Amino acid sequence: MPPDDPKGLPAWGRALVTLLNQVLAELDTRTSNVGVFHARRLGAPSGTTLTSANVALGAGWGAGATFTISGNDQRGSIIVTAAGVPAASATVTITFADGKWRTAPFATASRGDVNTPIGAMTASITTSVLTLTFNGIPIAASAYTLNWMVMG
């Protein structure tokens, strides 16, 4: 192991660590908000995969509503199938799998289906949970896809 490489990383690994350190330094708002960061894409593939244990469906989806979820704390999708007698402003509450954010992040939400009623999704967020609200009354036996992205 070379003395300048105590962790034994290959050259590409050292280059990646250097790049990540530069990105983190640029994004660290605790020290500075100056400068410009350019990137072709920022991915969110890391993080603990969300499971049913992270999700609470509100009563507005109707008794017996079901769901499947994919994604992590930063981005994901949930397909909810309404049941019983749905009500207005049905909610999905997602508890972050990787714990609390340092400060409340920002969130966006959208529908990924074309089922009626057609309406926008809204998102509200704290440091520990994301709540998605369906703006309308779901129809029993219809499946609704709710997508989100969180950045903080």
How far apart CA 101 and CA 25 sit, in angstroms, is 18
Q: Classify residue 47: in a domain, yes or no.
A: no
Query: How many degrees, rounded to 5, is the angle at CA 9 between CA 8 and CA 13?
Result: 175
Q: SS3 for 120?
A: coil
Torsion of CA 114, 47, 106, 42, to 10 degrees: -80
**pLDDT at residue 34, rounded to an integer:** 55
In a shared domain, residues 34 and 68: no
Same domain, 98 and 136: yes
Residue 36 sits in the same domain as residue 56: no
pLDDT at residue 37 in the model: 62
Paired with 68 in beta bridges are 79
Domain, as residue range, for 1? 1-42
Residues 34 and 63 in one domain: no
Q: Please list the rounded mean pLDDT of every run of 10 residues in the chain (152 residues).
A: 54 79 68 61 80 98 98 95 97 96 94 89 96 96 96 86
Flag whether 119 is in a domain: yes
Query: What CA–CA distance (Å, rounded) separates 32 from 91?
Result: 37
Q: Is the pTM of this model over 0.75?
A: no
Classify residue 124 by its DSSP letter. E
Q: Is 98 left (phi over 0), alpha (psi -120 to 50) or beta?
A: alpha
Domain shared by 137 and 65, yes or no:
yes
Both 97 and 139 in one domain: the answer is: yes
Q: Distance between CA atoms of 81 and 138, rounded to whole angstroms?
A: 9
6 domain-assigned: yes
62 domain residue, yes or no: yes
Do residue 65 and residue 139 come from a single domain? Answer: yes
What does the DSSP assignment read for 24-85? HHHH-TTT---S----S------SPPP-GGGEEE-GGG-TT-EEEEEE-SSEEEEEEE--SS
> How many domains does the chain divide into?
2
- 59 and 106 in a single domain? The answer is yes
User: What's residue 4's pLDDT?
Assistant: 45
What pLDDT is attached to residue 95? 98
* Claim to verify: residue 73 and residue 133 sit in the same structural domain: yes
